[in-house]
Amino acid sequence: MTLLTTPLRSADDYVRHFSSLQLPVLRQTRRELESLRESADTVNGKRIAAVVLGDPLMTMRLLTHLERHRGRSQNHDITTIDRAIMMMGVVPFFDTFAELDTVEDTLRAHPRALIGVLKVIANARRAADYARDWAVVRHDVDPNEITVAALLREATEIVCWVFAPELTQRVYAMQHADRGLRSAVAQRTVFGATANEIQLGLIRAWRLPELLVHLLDETQDGNPRVRTVKLAADFARHVAHGWDDAALPDDIGALEGLLHLSREPLLQRIGMPEEHRARFLPQPAAD
């Protein structure tokens, strides 16, 4: 597979290029699916779903496959992985995804890029976990939909790491050299387009279900479901820097408004270590 080493002309060109490529998956995902395939006649669909949801790339492959092979009798979108596997059937699922390329093989010659994409995938997993928990607190109509949307929110960054590792490393190098440089500015400087611009096109090209497209649309921030997805992604990224990250106070304040939890139970729910909580709690009035 030839990886991009020079920028393309526009966001549309990136969309056409990336959407024409077959997404690889994590090596661990392939191993786990191969193991489950051996007991395809008896394996539980939920067990398969758990493996798929551990890998944003595999999640994208499954959802896009279903949309591209949508039957005439299917009159509604499939927005969760459990339903996707139920729709396909266990044996057809394993037959369809019998041969999977891996991220590790794709980036064999780019070890720093491999580390970079694994970090983004780890953040996506954390974001999905946070989003599911917060959706439950909010009594969301379907926390599984929120989980999938949060897992896919950084899809374009993951794809750029996989298919344009050298360009993506330049973006990170610029931000490392200038801590105040916004991601969108660095992305436009290197790629000629921002990740958000590319993502808006990709989610259409991949034919993701309309509901997931809506949940990933930051312009709909008046919707608490959209806010849950965005805040989970932001929070997971900031926590990855450490509990002393400068952006966390704003995240905590936004979470209070979203979940309607008071500060102390909120800090406990998000797993903040005791030694960091004083910074986020009201200070007693001085005598």
Q: What is the pLDDT of residue 191?
A: 96
Does residue 74 sit in the same domain as residue 156? no
Does residue 148 sit in the same domain as residue 162? yes
pLDDT tens figures, 116-159: 999 999 999 999 999 999 999 999 999 999 999 999 999 999 99
Banded model confidence at residue 286, pLDDT cuts 50, 70, 90: low
Give me the residue label for tokens 């909580």: 277
Angle in degrees, CA 39, 42, 44, rounded to 5: 100
- Total domains in the chain come to 2
What are the Cα distances from residue 12, in Å, to 9, 150, 198, 201, 204? 8, 24, 7, 7, 11
CA contacts within 13 A on the Cβ side of 99: 1
Last residue of a domain, one of 103, 121, 154: 103
CA distance 103 to 24: 5
Mean pLDDT within 107-115: 96
The parent domain of residue 87 ranges over 22-103
Q: For all residues of the chain together, what is the average pLDDT?
A: 91
Mean pLDDT within 176-197: 91
pLDDT tens figures, 25-65: 999 999 999 999 998 888 988 999 999 999 999 999 999 88
Does residue 237 sit in the same domain as residue 258? yes
Last residue of a domain, one of 103, 120, 147: 103
**What percent of the residues of the chain are helix, what percent strand, and what percent coil, each to the nearest 5?**
65, 0, 30
Q: Is residue 135 part of a domain?
A: yes
Does residue 123 sit in the same domain as residue 254? yes
CA distance 33 to 100: 10
Last residue of a domain, one of 63, 80, 103: 103
| CATH (domain of 235) | 1.10.3210.10
CA distance 133 to 111: 33
Reduce the DSSP state of residue 284 to 3 states and report it: coil
Does residue 112 sit in the same domain as residue 222? yes
Does residue 91 sit in the same domain as residue 140? no
CA distance 143 to 228: 10
This prediction's pTM: 0.92
Does residue 166 sit in the same domain as residue 46? no
Using alpha carbons, select from 119, 144, 120 the residue that is nearest to residue 228. Answer: 144
pLDDT tens figures, 67-91: 887 755 555 678 889 988 998 899 9
Pure H helices in 38-110: 45-53, 56-68, 81-88, 90-96, 103-106
Give CA torsion, residues 207, 211, 216, 221, to 10 deg: 150
Q: What is the pLDDT of residue 76?
A: 66
